[in-house]
């Protein structure tokens, strides 16, 4: 049997879970994984990604449901999702994407009080099945390297 080590997961497992909203914290502190802050929306990297390039797109306003969004916010957040996918295509060249919105804890929302989209790049032959079979994620690029690769492209938005 072979052993696959994922020591970076231990930080998450042992860490005290954030009680404050991670999106609101990201807006107030740019020394984190925030790639973009626009007039109505923001993009940040998922600190505990399913695979490298896993992004979170959220409205700047602290809201929990689609019903609370204005039409302007809805248009803006979808444009930000589109722009983020475009940047990931250019920089990381994935074969496809999973894009999702989890509303409510039972639907998988980890941050229920602040609506956000997940953008997960996918490649033919990626290793996401490891999570199902071995409770391990295989991410081929360090989080900080992915941030450095994406950040210059997000700085050009707006």
Cβ(131)–Cβ(73) below 8 Å: no
Indicate which residue of 54, 114, 116, 118 is catalytic: 116
Active site residue 116: yes
In angstroms, rounded to a whole number, what is the distance separating the alpha carbons of residues 132 and 126?
13
Active-site residues: which are they?
A: 116
């Amino acid at each position: 049997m072979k052993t696959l080590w994922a020591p970076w997961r231990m930080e998450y497992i042992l860490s005290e879970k954030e009680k404050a909203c991670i999106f609101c914290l990201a807006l107030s502190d740019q020394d984190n994984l925030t790639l973009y802050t626009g007039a109505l929306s923001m993009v940040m990297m998922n600190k505990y990604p399913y695979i490298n390039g896993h992004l979170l797109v959220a409205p700047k306003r602290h809201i929990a449901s689609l019903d609370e969004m204005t039409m302007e916010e809805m248009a803006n957040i979808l444009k930000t999702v589109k722009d983020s996918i475009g940047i990931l295509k250019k920089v990381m060249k994935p074969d496809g994407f999973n894009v999702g919105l989890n509303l409510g804890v039972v639907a998988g929302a980890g941050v229920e009080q602040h609506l956000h989209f997940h953008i997960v790049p996918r490649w033919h032959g990626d290793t996401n099945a490891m999570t199902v079979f071995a409770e391990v994620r295989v991410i081929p690029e360090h989080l900080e390297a992915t941030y450095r690769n994406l950040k210059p492209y997000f700085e050009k938005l707006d």
